[in-house]
Amino acid sequence: MHHPVAEPRPSIYFPYQVFKPWLPLGQDLDKRHPVVIAGAGPAGMVTALELARHGVPSVVLTSDLQFSQGSRAICFTRRSMEILQQVGVADRITAVGLPWRYGNSHYRGQRVFRMEAPHDPDDRFFPIINLQQQYLEQYLFEACLAQPLIDFRWGNKVESVRNHSDHAEVVVDTPQGPYTLRTDWLVAADGGRSGIRSHFNLQMEGASYEGFFVIADIRVDLPLPTERLAYFDPGWNPGNTVLMHREPHGIWRIDYQLPPGESPEEALRPEVLKSRIDAQLAMIGHPGIQWELDWSSVYSARTLTLSDFIHERVIFTGDAAHLLPIFGVRGANTAFQDAQSLGWHLAHVVRGLAGLSLLRHHSDERVGAAREIIAEAGKSVRFMTPPAGGFTWLRNAVLSLSLTQEFVRPLYHWRTSRPHEYTRSALNSRNDDNATFTRGPAHGAPPQNVKLAEGDHLLDHLGGGFDLLYFTRSQAVPDDLQHCVAQARSRGVALRITAIGASAPVAGADQTLPDDQQRCRLRYGIQSDGAAYLLRPDQHICARWHQVDAARLQDALSTALPR
């Protein structure tokens, strides 16, 4: 019998609510489900919301009765916000989150590098916004509750899974005892310690790094702007690194590396925590300032991924599929991209709009993304916490040279999570004009946002299926193109035409967006009327033409939705 913790978790700023468990008594348990999702973290909930947007119902199981403990992921990138906008929670995050774009690296009391993340007037969202993960989970849960296609079950723990040729059998334990669910697909979004991954004894590729970091969230009143602060080799913690981030609700995160050989238990002893946090606050000019601890935890950096996210009828996603170091804000930000990708690929397979091979493409694309992130994150990890030998030597050289030499300072640059570009995806059109465009997002890239008017951006108008951005100043979409779109829709493919650039509504388009200042044309490298971009349901570009016609569009759709 599963007995989840029923006491609200402690927090000085987040009022944890304990939800009632879902109990199997009197329920129809024989039903076979198209999708069951194990885990209600960012990956599980965004997958459920994406599936629902594509018309696919799911059951979401979570072993807990409340949102996760502590702030965990606190920095959400612009691309994450664009994904979260699609599932309807971005405005709630913007309302309370703390946006920022500067980072500062300090060494020996001197600021040696100031990073400025690009922020274009066409962007709706800041490069990064800070908010504690519990709030994000709350907003996602409330969006799930409002969605009739999502059956959310608190206090339901996946105990075991059996794969069959065309479905999976999932044994779920509850406070009232176990029951069995049958599902065409099980999404394993059960986090970094995935019991489902262990159950199948799946091995991950990659590396685990030495060295532990403490995360401590404290309430303290510091008169500092919302910027990322990094301190290398501080006097109170020689040879190590300390990071600081401001969070909403008067909270600051202090994140510091432990001296070699110190155990996590020793590091989390209250007196040890206190002396180190006091020392850090004193070092930045606030000796003796009052503060209160909310949450502390210890982590080490790992760069690990499954080499295939699909194990017969079980699909791994988020932390269950890969473990990424939190430097560069990669955990939850990568989970959103996984979930957005999985949502549309799986929905199209479940609805019979594409063959099983579409799921293989999902796995290939996201394993590729994980490997790219691992390569990139590995560099950050080796700089933040150098393993030994040459890496330590290099870091020490950069640190000391940076006091006087401008040219080494960019080496501090913090490689932040950025969206993976599916440049070589098999879903990209092979017969379009991608290669001859000189500007604009290319094959596999996420779209470029464009400000249309105050508070109105291009991406606000897109999503929910394939989008054809059709650049025209004429009065109507050509008949053959309209016919091709109508045919795709009659097969169940969600495809909308957005005409861009005409001064009056364009006949045959689902919507017409003005482009008075030609910003869309410029951003998308458009040279002639009749040019077009095709965006997949995750908004990544899969085709672009200087001149589109029905045959070319049909060809691109067939490539993106292989049978």
Residues lying near ligand FAD in the complex (CB under 6 A): 38-44, 61-64, 68, 72-74, 133, 157-158, 189-192, 195, 215, 297, 299, 318-320, 326, 329-332, 335
- Minimum Å gap between C-beta 240 and ligand FAD is 17
Rounded least distance, CB 44 to ligand FAD, Å: 5
Q: How far is the CB of 156 from ligand FAD (least distance, A)?
A: 6
Taking the complex as a whole, how short is the minimal distance between the CB of residue 297 and ligand FAD, in angstroms?
4
CA end-to-end span of the chain: 44
Q: Quick one: 64 or 421, whose CB is closer to ligand FAD? A: 64
Q: DSSP 3-state assignment of 212?
A: strand
Please state the closest distance from residue 135 (CB atom) to ligand FAD, in A: 13
Give the nearest distance from C-beta 224 to ligand FAD in angstroms: 19
DSSP string of 270-304, one letter each residue: HHHHHHHHHHHHHHTT-TT---EEEEEEEEEEEEE
Q: Which tokens is 106 given?
A: 């300090």
Q: What percent of the residues of the chain are helix, what percent strand, and what percent coil, each to the nearest 5?
A: 30, 25, 45
Closer residue to ligand FAD, CB minimum distance, 243 or 557:
243
Phi, psi at 10, each rounded to 5°: -75, 140
Q: Name which of 190 and 515 has its Cβ closer to ligand FAD.
A: 190
The CA distances from residue 359 to 146, 346, 347, 365, 512, in Å, are: 28, 6, 10, 10, 33
The Cβ-side half-sphere exposure at 169, using a 13 Å CA radius, reads 7
**Placement of tokens 């464009």 in the chain:** 450
> Strands 322-323, 292-305: parallel, antiparallel or unpaired by DSSP?
antiparallel
Residue indicated by tokens 């930000």: 333
Q: Which is nearer to ligand FAD, 189 or 230 (CB)?
A: 189
Task: In angstroms, give the least distance from the CB of 203 to ligand FAD.
Answer: 19
Strand partners, 310: 315
Distance CA 373, CA 394 (A): 22
DSSP character at residue 507: B
- 206 or 562: whose CB is closer to ligand FAD? 206
SS3 per residue for 321-336: CEECCCCCCCHHHHHH
CB of 411 to ligand FAD, least distance (A): 23
CA distance 229 to 506: 50
Q: Which is nearer to ligand FAD, 21 or 465 (CB)?
A: 21
Comparing CB distances to ligand FAD, the nearer of 44 and 441 is 44
Judged by beta carbon, residue 39 or residue 501, the one nearer ligand FAD is 39
